[in-house]
Structure 1
Amino acid sequence: MRWRVRLAPRRRSETREENRTRLLAAARRAFAGKGFAAASMDELTAEAGLTRGALYHNFGDKLGLLAAVVAEVDGEMAGRAKQAGAAAPSAWEGLLAEGCAYIGMALDPEVRRIVLLDGPAFLGDPSRWPSQNACLEMTQEAVAQLIADGVVRPVDVEAAARLLSGAALNAALWVAASDAPRSALPKAVEAFQLMASGLLAQQKDA
């Protein structure tokens, strides 16, 4: 008696994941290069070697594809910011470094176009994005630990985390939308650092 191994379901699953990956990569290039509005679904699906049906099946529509690309890029931004924080000499400086790194990514052409310009324009308030909620949770954990260590004043953890995350996000949005982003960046970073320093338990004399 011969036993047959049924591989078809696994192959279909792998194909769906491959299709999704190819569509995300093609859309990321198209959205970064042309912008969401100008990117053609026919062109990006052709580049991925797929059809519109594959796009609809995986993402629902073009807007769903943008949301997936934004989530991917924003998630990478959070990872890069976390790396910057990890290299800092203290937890407090790490928290500042993460925020400053996030703001600095507004100069990255791909980040600027996809996450900071087209994302809010077509997907709405960035503070409601799942990727931003994940960043907020990490900031809350960092603030709670800093309060426990006596570095930060005993303020409401969620309030402080929301203000810090919101300040970094809005600073990045401002830099990205600026006519002179390279000039705006140091101003945004300085203001962010000064605002955040108000949370410190021990204030330095002016």
Structure 2
Amino acid sequence: MVEKTRAKLIRAARKAFAAQGYAAASMDELTARAGLTRGALYHHFGDKKGLLQAVIDQIDAEMVVRLRAARDRGKTAWLGFLDEYSAYIEMALEPEIQRIMLLDGPAVLGDPSRWPSQNACLRTTTQTIQALIDAGTVRPVDPEAAARLLNGAALSAALWIAAADDPHAVLAKAVAAFRQLAAGLLQIEQ
């Protein structure tokens, strides 16, 4: 029952935050649509901000699955690595991700690079870079420093796209520049 209630609230909040934005989403309307009370929201999430964090955690988990699939389709480990980043940047075109993850999330929860999910992403990226160094694909470099810089560049590109007047026009430029920057890590041309 607890998980069912949480799921209803997250589903309703996700729709409301995507359609109206965090600030405009009414907790009374949201809980009514879920067939629950405000008390249920406060019991499970503490407040509206806690509910936003739960929505972001859910979307982030879905993004991770999609990003891993993009990586796994790569012809080489390096190309899969680049495809994963390109897919992340491209997700900034999706209205739900754009609004919740890239615009409202940072405004309400602060710097995305400090979100718990980003720490997991950083660890994975650091391990991937170390594996690429070990394989001789990437030049010797501090893997954590490279991971932080690449993650920061990808996040910045996604934020740029989300805030752009013409996100589709920005996407191509952002992905091309990101790939060029990342290529500087290569030991040899791939």
Instruction: Quote the sequence identity (%).
Output: 62
Q: Does 1:142 align with 2:154?
A: no
Aligned to 1:128: 114
Aligned to 1:109: 95
Shift of 1:75: 2.1
Structure 2: where are the runs of 5+ without partners?
Answer: none
- Aligned partner of residue 201 in structure 1, secondary structure: coil
- Aligned partner of residue 88 in structure 2, secondary structure: helix
Aligned to 1:92: 78
Shift of 1:42: 0.3
Q: Does 1:160 align with 2:112?
A: no
Aligned to 2:18: 32
Ranges of 4+ aligned residues in structure 1 off by more than 3 Å: none
The AA in structure 2 aligned to 1:117 is L
Aligned to 1:199: 185
TM-score, structure 1 as length reference: 0.90
The AA in structure 2 aligned to 1:140 is T
Shift of 1:130: 1.1
The AA in structure 1 aligned to 2:128 is A
What per-residue deviation string (whole Å, max 9, x for no partner) do you get for residues 105-148 of structure 1?
01101110100110111110000111111111111111010000
Aligned to 2:38: 52
Does the 8 A contact of 1:106 with 1:172 survive in 2? yes
Does the 8 A contact of 1:71 with 1:130 survive in 2? no
Aligned to 1:18: 4
CA distance in 2, matches of 1:75, 1:174: 22
The AA in structure 2 aligned to 1:87 is R
Q: 2:158 aligns with which of 172, 193, 196?
A: 172
The AA in structure 2 aligned to 1:149 is A
> What is the number of equivalent residue pairs in this alignment?
190
TM-score, structure 2 as length reference: 0.97
Aligned to 1:10: none
Q: Does 1:75 align with 2:75?
A: no
Report the structure number with the largest CA radius of gyration. 1
